[in-house]
Chains A and B, each alone.
Chain A
């Protein structure tokens, strides 16, 4: 892997240059609330690579909460239907992805593109994307990517990867597209010392993870085993289900949750638009089948479905990694306090018989 060393000015110039031919998105701090979002950059100055993990996952851009995908119009006289596609390809740069969000994109890729059917909407958003990741120098509260093999540094899937070192920003190249950018700019090649410093930076970041996260590392694997084999007691699921407020937040902020709902909505006489919006397995209506059968009516059955999706071997085989990327956002947004780390904790408690 080739590595280069850039200055902050180089990075800024790169953003400005890319903006000429791409929509460039990156982490920014909302001025009034100080909340971080991965949003389109108005200018290179808005990019804040040191900002904490964005509050919403980057899937906002590739798989928005709601989008219009189709419009159609039925002409009764000629008995013809006019269809028009409502999603369009725009070259994008996702500049400064946290490794967890990058892992999330890889999972979504495997779900939307890597199976029998290719999702054209997702493909259109994803096709001309340049992915530039950014190593986390220290964990943010509630991060536990060390448990889910998705950080603090990225190891696959990026075109370029950035790491802040003492002398400048280390750029690792991860793809031909990335290499082409490096060659075009004739960036200065990083030294072996820089490569060593990179390793040390990552090691230090791992050391800084709270004990809960590092300690949970083995437990995530153990809990996966439990969930896969179906040995989690119903009482534990009930305990978790009782705390579910059925808001759907966990799915909406999860970088890997890919479920969606489709609705055709009439706009005018004979005219209709097709909306696609994120859905969540925490909702009762999500699993209802024709004929009113609902295999997952009780809330605890819906809850365990979610954790089965995030932490079980069959799902991991599909995604080639665990369904959870350890970003901890579900813990932030859950009004019932059953974010994934807590669920691991409850199942762990069950395994140890309450001994932690």
Chain B
């Protein structure tokens, strides 16, 4: 018999995919409980998961379709709003790049799949994208080249058994805390946990070994580890390894050999001897898990290539407890990619918006994450903007038509976690306002112009997903409802047995700092909330926590080391002038942190003014994600 109040579902607040119970009477959600038998989260939740009830109780919901009239949004019926949207969109040419579609990485697979159909079959546009995908495509391209399919290799549960766990860059106990907790547990049971990170993050403190490299040299460090591992192999001829037969090996090996220990040390600040020591542990490990963050604050392609190459070089990737996982910050980033909502190269919506003479005239946006909207002026100047989301957001101000969407527990849907685990959440509260689920809204939009898809429910949509999405063929709602989801099957890709090295270049990255701009500024160091401002600001306790640092540092803060603070003669919370090498500047408080190394500075990602006034002119900083570095000077 089902319980009166506790309903199992999947947490929708990051890409880990933790098991969660919602305490609900079918009308409202009163609380949350963790799900003990879930294979990944094992009865644990992070601050976000524990407060999902607050988000699900917010009054800041979009409750009805809205149409802009005389500058104001007014309620409208679905029929009217759908007719308005489709009649207007028909006046634009999708083929000519006039319509852009920006999907959400939080939408279910069913919603993503039908949105992709709408874009392709009805709007006929190539101009598609996922709001937070920036870095994920790079991860997918690199993994696809290395392992033959675009997705994580192995499972997050490998962490619980692996001998050796390498965390590259990410501040994982903040970004995906439950994965961080599993890594910590692995360290305590005796696994060797190694973190490469330019600042002393919590996971760095909890690791067996932390390499604190100079900013911008993560990839070089991973490659140096590869070089040492290869050197050990050359000595130990007894190793089975037919790794050297894989395509790309000889080029990769040649590149690794060219690494100079002197140049390595100068660039990264890490001695090669230390890396050689580390490689011995890696050589002895029977199973290896490598994690790196993917998505908007992910890594650049050369660093990801270094990671996938190292993974192949270990020759342990066929072990059931080995894995390479691009850790996603948003619940269905992987699924949205699988459903085909990621724009092909050269068809980026953001690029179209940023290019002044691009053809784009209309935009359909789902669930915009940030309070910060890039290219806002351009979007405001477009002829027609449609926005759909469960929650109110600044993006509504730019929209001509707005549609509501259900919250994640108000409709059936499947979500694909960072390690390809596809899980189902069933509707567990009444959809009182009769809000159409995304798949049905897109179906109705298509039907308005004569495309009839005939989907009865989300399970019906998923049958089509299984039929047309590589790897999803064995899955169904019925099957997923029985346990805690299932990983999609790489064998759905013909090349899934293929292994090959990515081409790499050894570059001794020189910090762009100079005597005049001596600090390397890094963005993207995460707080609890990463880039989910739109949701977290609608909770109560997490919002208060989110605001803590802002209360202490109302103008935002820049983290520097105690030594640098002494040198600059500044104290904690003092305001300083930060000037970048391209001339942007801001006034900001100093936060002194022993976790930061000398000569580096960090600004958290989420502070609005910093991004819009200071960082946005740095297009490259966005592109490089976690590894981007801006030379700055700091003055009292």
List A residues at the B interface (Cβ < 8 Å). Answer: 28, 30-35, 37, 39-43, 45-46, 55-56, 60, 64-67, 242-243, 245-249, 252, 261, 263, 265-268, 275, 277, 279, 283-285, 288, 292, 294, 332-337
Contacts and interface: CB of A to CB of B under 8 A. Distances in A.
Interface stretch (B104-112, B159-167, B245-253, B537-545): B537-545
7 contacts: A65-B23, A245-B47, A245-B180, A283-B47, A333-B44, A333-B45, A335-B178
B362 to A, nearest CB: 33
B47 A247 contact: yes
A37 B36 CA distance: 12
A332 B46 CA distance: 13
Given A65-B53, A242-B202, A277-B54, A34 B37 contact: yes
A261 B36 contact: no
A60 B2 CA distance: 18
Given A30-B8, A337-B184, A55 B33 contact: yes
Given A66-B54, A285-B544, 12 more contacts: A30-B8, A33-B8, A33-B35, A37-B5, A42-B1, A247-B50, A261-B540, A261-B544, A265-B540, A279-B541, A332-B36, A337-B181
Interface of B: 1-6, 8, 19, 21, 23, 30-37, 43-47, 49-50, 53-54, 57-59, 173, 177-178, 180-182, 184-185, 188, 202, 205-206, 528, 540-541, 544-545, 547-548, 551-552
A302 to B, nearest CB: 12
A33 B177 contact: no
A33 B37 contact: yes
Contacts of A46: 1
A60 B31 contact: yes
A283 B541 contact: yes
A336 B47 CA distance: 13
A45 B1 CA distance: 10
A247 B3 CA distance: 26
A263 B57 CA distance: 13
A84 to B, nearest CB: 17
B349 to A, nearest CB: 34
Contact of A31 (B2, B19, B206, B548): B2
Contacts of B47: 245-248, 283
Contact of A285 (B44, B177, B205, B548): B548
Contact of A65 (B32, B45, B545): B32
A157 B202 CA distance: 43
Contact of A245 (B5, B19, B181): B181
B184 A336 contact: yes
Most buried by A among B31, B53, B528: B31
B551 A337 contact: no
A333 B21 CA distance: 13
B43 A263 contact: no
A334 B36 contact: no
B50 A248 contact: yes
Contacts of A252: 50
A333 B33 CA distance: 10
A254 B50 CA distance: 14
A183 B57 CA distance: 46
A252 B36 CA distance: 15
A47 to B, nearest CB: 11
Given A55-B33, A247-B177, A335-B184, A265 B59 contact: yes
B45 A247 contact: yes
A46 B205 CA distance: 47
B59 A267 contact: yes
Nearest to A267: B59
Contact of A40 (B5, B34, B548): B5
Nearest to B31: A65
Contacts of A284: 545, 548
Cβ-closest 7 pairs across A and B: A335-B181, A65-B31, A285-B544, A40-B4, A335-B44, A284-B548, A39-B3
Contact of B540 (A41, A263, A294): A263
A243 B57 CA distance: 31
Given A66-B31, A265-B59, A283-B545, A31 B1 contact: yes
A202 to B, nearest CB: 27
B5 A39 contact: yes
Given A42-B4, A332-B36, A288 B59 contact: no
B193 to A, nearest CB: 13
Most buried by A among B46, B181, B541, B552: B541
Contacts of A39: 3-6
Contacts of B547: 285
A158 B283 CA distance: 60
A338 to B, nearest CB: 10
A4 to B, nearest CB: 29
B541 A261 contact: yes
Contacts of B45: 247, 249, 333
Contacts of A43: 1
